[in-house]
Amino acid sequence: MVVIDSDAHVIETETVWDYLEPSEQRFRPVWREGRDGTLRGAGWLIDGQISSTGAGSVAATQEQLEEQSRRTGRELVTPAGAKELVDVPARLRHMDELGVDIQVCHSTLWIRAVANEPATDVALCRAWNRWMYDGYARSNGRLQWSCVLPFLSMPDTLDELKWAKEHGACAVFMRPVEGERLLHDPYFYPLYEAVSAANIAIAVHIGNSNREMVRLLSQRNGGAAFWTLRLANAGACHALLMSEVLDVFPTLRFGFLESGAGWVPHALIDLRSRLRRQGKETPANLLEQKRVYVACQSDDDVPYVLKWTGEHNLVSGTDYGHTDQSSELATFRLLKEECDISQDQWRRIAGDNPKALYALDVN
């Protein structure tokens, strides 16, 4: 069988911006170092603001990764140059060691807000997609990818989606909160129509591009990312299932990534109650019926979660290249050996389900 990592990452470096067109060089992000020898304030200067997402992953040395692995008891160390797509062969060899055949790669920088101006948004998305395509092309198809799109301009979004699909993208990267809009906003209907026609997925990675919301929920809270990113994913899935979107677009597939799956029972119980008040019943296989997939982690209560998701809509990922609480390079081994699920259930989570989510033609 083919083992598919549904949530792996690439780390943006200066090389990404070499893919900007000559006429777009004015949009080139500038890396700013942190203050006082720390990561405070470190990040990419874009449209006059610092986008700091992934600063820790950019700056982490191999020694720091090894120390963090020892401290957390999780496998986090990647070969030098692998996560930045500098050394694609090294990444493929590491995937072999991990027992992973295919990774679906997602952006790091775009987890939070990137650009403020439509022209900047268009230029940076174009550059990132061409950089990622180059890595994909050097991987013999083993590094699949989700494209980033300039949602500040829907016409440019649709143009870039067409290019990305023609160059191998298997998903569109979205955040549960897209600026001032949520996933079920009709603004995105032209995108969903085009994505349906292209037969690719919407990959809703934990994230939040509403700067004010992030600022508010980050006050006096060491676990701010739980509010701004993880819970945002759960809320976005709930709202999507309550909306008309999945009926209006009957072939559209959504995957909710890196937020674990422990929230699914709570969301579905609440959803069932709300729908009953409207005189509607919730089918037992709601996620399967609505083509919604959720990525579990090896520290989830997977047997319990399966009772709610069903066996055909749970996927998983390693969070390759990152070092947060979701990151575990040994995810698929742990799911197989320590999560008390059957071999058939593991095969679906590791292979059949992500193949269906991303419509991958692999065996």
Interval 96-111: pLDDT, tens: 999 999 999 999 999 9
Q: In the predicted model, what is the mean pLDDT of residues 193-212?
A: 97
Q: How confident is the model at residue 68 (pLDDT cuts 50, 70, 90)?
A: confident
What local confidence, expressed as pLDDT, does residue 282 receive? 83
DSSP 160-206: HHHHHHHTT--EEEE-SEETTEETT-GGGHHHHHHHHHHT-EEEEES
pLDDT tier, 65 (very low <50, low <70, confident <90, very high otherwise)? confident
**The pTM is what?**
0.95
Q: Is the pLDDT of residue 31 over 80?
A: yes
Residue 104 contacts residue 5 (beta carbons within 8 Å): yes
pLDDT of residue 73: 87
The Cα–Cα gap between 8 and 281 comes to: 36
Please name the fold of domain 4-358.
TIM Barrel (3.20.20)
At residue 43, what are phi and psi to the nearest 5 degrees? 150, -170
CA–CA dist 1, 92 (Å, integer) = 17
Separation CA 23–CA 144 (nearest Å): 29
Are 354 and 312 in contact, with CB atoms under 8 Å apart?
Answer: no
Give per-residue pLDDT as tens, 213-223. Answer: 998 988 877 66
The pairing of beta strand 254-257 with beta strand 292-296:
parallel
**In which band, very low, low, confident or very high, does the pLDDT at 251 lie, cut at 50, 70 and 90?**
very high
